[in-house]
Chains A and B, each alone.
Chain A
Amino acid sequence: MTAAELVVEGVTLTAGARRLVRDVSLAARPGEVIGLVGPNGSGKSSLLRAVYRVLRPDAGHVRVDGADVRSLPVRRLARTVAAVVQEPGAGFDLSVREVVAMGRTPHKRLLDGDTAEDARLIERSLAAVDAAGLADRPFDRLSGGERQRVLIARALTQQPSLLVLDEPTNHLDVRHQLEVLDHLRALPATVLVALHDLNLAAYYCDRLYVLRDGAVTASGPPSEVLTARLLAEVYGVSAEVAVHPRTGAPQVTFLPAGAAAAVPAAPPPGASGA
Chain B
Amino acid sequence: MTATAPAAPVPRSAPADRDGGRGGGGGDGEPGARRVQFAVVLMVLGAALVLSAVAGMAVGSVRVPPGEVWGIVTHALGLDRSEPAWSRARETIVLDVRAPRVLLGAVTGAGLAVVGAAMQALVRNPLAEPYLLGVSSGASLGAVAVLVFGVSLFGPLSLSAAAFAGALLTLLLVYTTARTGGRITSMRLVLSGVAFAAVLTAVMELLLLTGERGNEARAVLAWTMGGLGGVRWGTLWLPGAAVLLGVGILLVRARSLNLLLAGEESATTLGLDVARFRGRMFVLLSLVTGVLVAAAGPIGFVGLIMPHIVRLFVGGDHRRVLPTAALAGAVFLIWCDVAARTVAAPMEIPVGVLTALCGGPFFLWLLRRDGRRDDEGVA
A contact residues vs B (CB 8 Å cutoff): 49, 52-54, 73-79, 81-83, 85, 87-95, 97-99, 102-103, 105-106, 108, 110-111, 119, 123, 127, 130, 132-133, 135-138, 140-141, 143, 146, 151, 154, 158, 164
Nearest residue (CB) in B for A137 is B16
Within the complex, what minimum Cβ distance (angstroms) separates A186 from chain B?
20
Q: Is the CB of A136 within 8 A of B270?
A: no
Residue-wise, chain B 354-379 has the 8 Å CB interface mask toward A (1 for contact) of 00000000000000000001000011
Q: Is the CB of A141 within 8 A of B269?
A: no
Q: Is the CB of A89 within 8 A of B261?
A: yes
Which listed residue, B2, B13, B256, B266, touches A87 by the CB 8 Å rule?
B266
Can you list 24 A-B contacts (CB < 8 A)? Answer: A74-B271, A75-B273, A78-B270, A87-B262, A88-B378, A89-B261, A91-B261, A92-B126, A93-B11, A93-B315, A98-B316, A102-B258, A102-B259, A102-B262, A105-B256, A105-B259, A123-B27, A133-B23, A137-B5, A137-B10, A140-B373, A140-B378, A146-B1, A164-B269
Which listed residue, B6, B19, B315, B378, touches A133 by the CB 8 Å rule?
B19
B240-262 at interface with A (beta carbon < 8 Å): 252-253, 255-256, 258-259, 261-262
Chain A residues within an 8 Å CB radius of B263: 85, 87-90
User: Is B121 in contact with chain A by the CB < 8 A criterion?
Assistant: yes
Q: Is the CB of B11 within 8 A of A105?
A: no
Complex CA–CA separation, A123 to B22 (angstroms): 12
User: Is B272 in contact with chain A by the CB < 8 A criterion?
Assistant: yes
Which listed residue, B20, B26, B269, B315, touches A82 by the CB 8 Å rule?
B269
User: Is B279 in contact with chain A by the CB < 8 A criterion?
Assistant: no
Nearest residue (CB) in B for A112 is B255
Complex CA–CA separation, A59 to B185 (angstroms): 33
Q: Is the CB of A108 within 8 A of B262?
A: no
Chain B residues within an 8 Å CB radius of A76: 271
Residue-wise, chain B 6-22 has the 8 Å CB interface mask toward A (1 for contact) of 10101101011001111
Chain A residues within an 8 Å CB radius of B273: 73-75
Which listed residue, A52, A90, A158, touches B124 by the CB 8 Å rule?
A90
Chain B residues within an 8 Å CB radius of A105: 255-256, 258-259, 270-272
Complex CA–CA separation, A90 to B267 (angstroms): 12
Provided the pairs A52-B268, A127-B24 are in contact, do residues A138 and B10 lie with their beta carbons within 8 angstroms?
yes
Chain A residues within an 8 Å CB radius of B253: 110
Q: Is the CB of B27 within 8 A of A136?
A: yes
Complex CA–CA separation, A126 to B28 (angstroms): 13
Provided the pairs A82-B269, A133-B22 are in contact, do residues A98 and B259 lie with their beta carbons within 8 angstroms?
no
Chain A residues within an 8 Å CB radius of B269: 52, 54, 78, 81-83, 85, 164
Q: Is the CB of A92 within 8 A of B22?
A: no
Chain A residues within an 8 Å CB radius of B261: 89-92, 94
Within the complex, what minimum Cβ distance (angstroms) separates B102 from chain A?
31
Which listed residue, B6, B11, B255, B268, touches A108 by the CB 8 Å rule?
B255
Q: Is the CB of B8 within 8 A of A141?
A: yes
Chain B residues within an 8 Å CB radius of A92: 120-121, 126, 261, 311, 316
User: Is B30 in contact with chain A by the CB < 8 A criterion?
Assistant: yes
Chain A residues within an 8 Å CB radius of B378: 88, 90, 140
Q: Is the CB of B126 within 8 A of A133?
A: no
Q: Is the CB of B120 within 8 A of A79?
A: no
- A sample of 13 more A-B contacts (CB under 8 A), given A79-B271, A85-B269, A138-B11, is A54-B268, A87-B265, A90-B263, A91-B261, A92-B126, A94-B261, A97-B31, A102-B270, A105-B272, A110-B255, A130-B22, A132-B23, A141-B8
Q: Is the CB of B30 within 8 A of A97?
A: yes
Nearest residue (CB) in B for A77 is B271
Within the complex, what minimum Cβ distance (angstroms) separates B117 from chain A?
10
User: Is B4 in contact with chain A by the CB < 8 A criterion?
Assistant: yes
Complex CA–CA separation, A89 to B23 (angstroms): 25
Provided the pairs A52-B269, A146-B1 are in contact, do residues A95 and B315 lie with their beta carbons within 8 angstroms?
yes
Chain B residues within an 8 Å CB radius of A52: 265, 268-269
